[in-house]
Amino acid sequence: MWNFKRTGLFAALGLSLVAALSLLLLVQKAFAPLIRRDDLVNDPPYITRLSKAFWSTLIPTSAVTAFVFCCLVFLYYFKVLRDDIAQIFEAVLWVCAIIFFVFKLVRAVVAPGKPA
């Protein structure tokens, strides 16, 4: 399988990575004021902290979700995976996206050393 479908695999992963990175850069540039924490403010209001935690979790997670979705679409389009392996691979990718979301949420809520 590696010998015959290597090109399709690299094309699918490359296109998925380009789509996710462009989405991440575009959204981070558009929502930069909502994500960046102000280190000069020692005790920001609760709604500000909640908003920063929400956006700093949602934006990177949306890029990872876009990567997973595009990766699966391109892998199916290029017919890289067999049907039995595709289900396992799809489940693993979605679990990785969920773990990333939980990690970003915990980092945003706990935010060690960053009260803002």
Average of per-residue pLDDT values in the chain: 83
Q: Please, which pLDDT band fits residue 85 given cuts at 50, 70 and 90?
A: confident
24 vs 5: CA distance, rounded Å: 28
- The confidence score (pLDDT) of residue 47 equals 84
Please write the tens of the pLDDT for every residue from 30-82.
877 767 766 677 777 888 778 888 888 888 888 888 888 888 888 888 888 88
pTM of the model: 0.77
The more confident residue out of 44 and 96 is: 96
Residues 6 or more apart whose CB falls under 8 angstroms from that of 115 comprise: 42, 43, 44, 49
